[in-house]
Amino acid sequence: MRELPKITDPIFVKKELKGMDKFFVTKIRDERDLPFIHLMLKITFILIPSAILLYSPLLQGNYWWAWAAFHLFLTIVVFLGPYTLMLHNTSHRPFFKRENEVWNKYIPWVLGPLLGQSPELYFIHHMGMHHNEGNMPEDKSSTMPFQRDSFFGFLHYYLRFLLIGIIELAQYFFGKKRKALGIKAARAEFTYLSILALLCIFVNLGATMTVFIIPLLIIRFAMMSGNWGQHAFVDPNDPDNDYTSSITCINSGYNQKCFNDGYHIGHHLVPNMHWTDMPIEFQENLQKYSDNKSLIFEGLDFQLVWVLLMVKRYDILAKHLVNINGNTFASDEEAIAIMKERTRRFSKEKLQFYTQ
C-alpha cells in the first residue's frame, strides 16, 4: 500500500481566453467545458474526412488497407476514450446554452456513430437506468450476480450485454411503467443496426466495418470491462453504499485524458458534479472515504483494475491501494481480504432481498 500522494489530476485554472475560445465560451453553459469544444473540433476535422475517404474510390488496394488501419488507430487509441467521457459528461450536464440547444445533438448524433455509439442509447441506458439503480440488482448492468475476479463471469456479463442487452433494457423500462422510454431505446438500437447492415450490403462492407462496426464492438467491450472495474468491489453487507460499491482511481494518465473519470465514487455520490471538481471533493472528504474503507488506487485506471482482477493479482492491486491517514487498512493482508470479500458474487437469495 502507499500513502496518500499529492493529487495531480486536472482541476480548473482560470486563464485568459483567446481565439476561438472567446467565441465558444459564449455558446456553452460552463467555461470549464471548453476542452470538449477542442475535442469536438478535432474529431470533426480528422475522423469525418477520414471516414469519407474510406467510402470514396480514391483509395484502392494496399493504400485503402493502410488508411483503414490508420483510421482505426485514430478512432480507438486517440479519440475513443476522451469522446466517450465527453459524451458521459454532457449527458449529465447539458453542454450548450438553451438558445444553442440544437448543438447538444451534435456529440451523440454526428460524432457518436464514428466512435461506436448508437445515437441516444447511451443517454437512455446511463441516465434512465444505471444511475437510477446504482449497480443494485435491478440495474441491468449490475455486477452483483457475478464472481468479479472471474474471466468466465465477465464473459457471461459481456455476452449477455452484447446479445440481449437492449431487450433487458426495454424490459426494465416496461417493468418500471416507462414504456415510452423502452420503445425509444429499442427503436434507436434496431434502427441503427439496420442502417449499418444496409451500409454493409449495399454501400461498402470494408468501410462500414472500419468506420462503424469495429468501433461499436470495441467500445461496448470497453464500457462493460470499465463498468466491471468501477463496480467490481461491492460490500456484501452494504451494497447500496456508494463509498463501498465503487472505486476511485487517482493520479493516472487516464484522468488527464478522460476528464477525471477515475473519480467514480464521487460521481455516484453527486452524479452532476463537474469533472474539474472531483479531485477537490475527494480531498475534502478523505475521512468519509477512510471510514468506509473505500478502495482508492493510485496510477491505475478501470481497465487495468479489470485486467488485474481477471488474473487475480490482488498483490498488485494492494501495491497501488492508497491507505488514507495510514490507518484505513492495517496491512496488505487485510486490504486483500477486503478486496476478495467485495468481489464475491451475491447469491440469488441476497439479490432477491435487495430487489424488494
The band of 37, judged by pLDDT with boundaries at 50, 70 and 90, is: very high
pLDDT tens, 91-132? 999 999 999 999 999 999 999 999 999 998 999 999 999 999
Q: H/E/C letters for each residue in the chain?
A: CECCCCCCCCCCCCCCCCCHHHHHCCCECCHHHHHHHHHHHHHHHHHHHHHHHHHCCCCCHHHHHHHHHHHHHHHHHHHHHHHHHHHHHHHHCCCECHHHHHHHHHHHHHHHHHHCCCCCHHHHHHHHHHHHHCCCCCCCCCCCCCCCCCHHHHHHHHHHHHHHHHHHHHHHHHHCCCHHHHHHHHHHHHHHHHHHHHHHHHHCHHHHHHHHHHHHHHHHHHHHHHHHHHCCCCCCCCCCCCCCCCEEEECCHHHHHCCCCCEHHHHHHCCCCCHHHHHHHHHHCHHHHHHCCCEEEECCCHHHHHHHHHCCCHHHHHHHEECHHHCCCCCHHHHHHHHHHHCCCCCHHHHHHHHC
The band of 148, judged by pLDDT with boundaries at 50, 70 and 90, is: very high
Q: What is the pTM of this model?
A: 0.95
Question: Scanning the structure block, which residue is given the C-alpha cell 464473459?
Answer: 155
pLDDT tens, 237-271? 999 999 999 999 999 999 999 999 999 999 999 99
> CA triplet 30, 32, 38: central angle to 5 degrees?
100
Percent share of the chain, pLDDT over 90: 98
The closest alpha carbon to 343, from 230, 235, 223, belongs to 235
The closest alpha carbon to 123, from 104, 136, 138, 137, belongs to 104
The band of 325, judged by pLDDT with boundaries at 50, 70 and 90, is: confident
pLDDT of 69 reads: 98
Residue 356 confidence (pLDDT) above 80: no
At 135, give phi and psi (nearest 5°): 70, 5
